[in-house]
Amino acid sequence: MALAHRTQEGGSWLVRLSLAQTGRWLNGIGRIAGGAATREDQTRASIADLLEDIPSPFGRVSAVGPSRWLDQTPPRLDLPPVPLGTHPPEWPKHG
């Protein structure tokens, strides 16, 4: 609703959400009969065109790339996956 208000009226809107209530809502929608059973298991070959290889301290890591590209703000990966504790627990300084 906040996105609809922003589209129609502009501005920004405060939204408070509950992850538990979102899960309850999703669970209440119901299921498609036999839904998961009707799909085939994904194989590496079937998603090969969606994967990107990323060099990391763990070696080359394959990951699913961004699902959407925008002309003015293309997604990018600034840092590869690294072992826990590699960076201090602080917000990066910009500027």
- Does 71 reside within a domain? no
- Does 13 reside within a domain? yes
- Does 76 reside within a domain? no
- Its pTM stands at 0.45
Residue 18's domain comprises: 1-26
- Does 8 reside within a domain? yes
> Sign of torsion, CA 82 85 91 95?
negative
As for how many domains the chain has, the answer is 1
Q: What is the CA radius of gyration of the chain?
A: 20
- Does 73 reside within a domain? no
- Does 1 reside within a domain? yes
pLDDT in tens, the chain (95 residues): 888 888 899 888 888 889 999 999 998 988 888 777 777 788 989 899 989 888 999 999 988 888 777 777 777 777 788 999 998 888 878 76
pLDDT of 84: 92
- Rounded-to-integer distance, Cα 58 and Cα 82, Å: 7
- Does 19 reside within a domain? yes
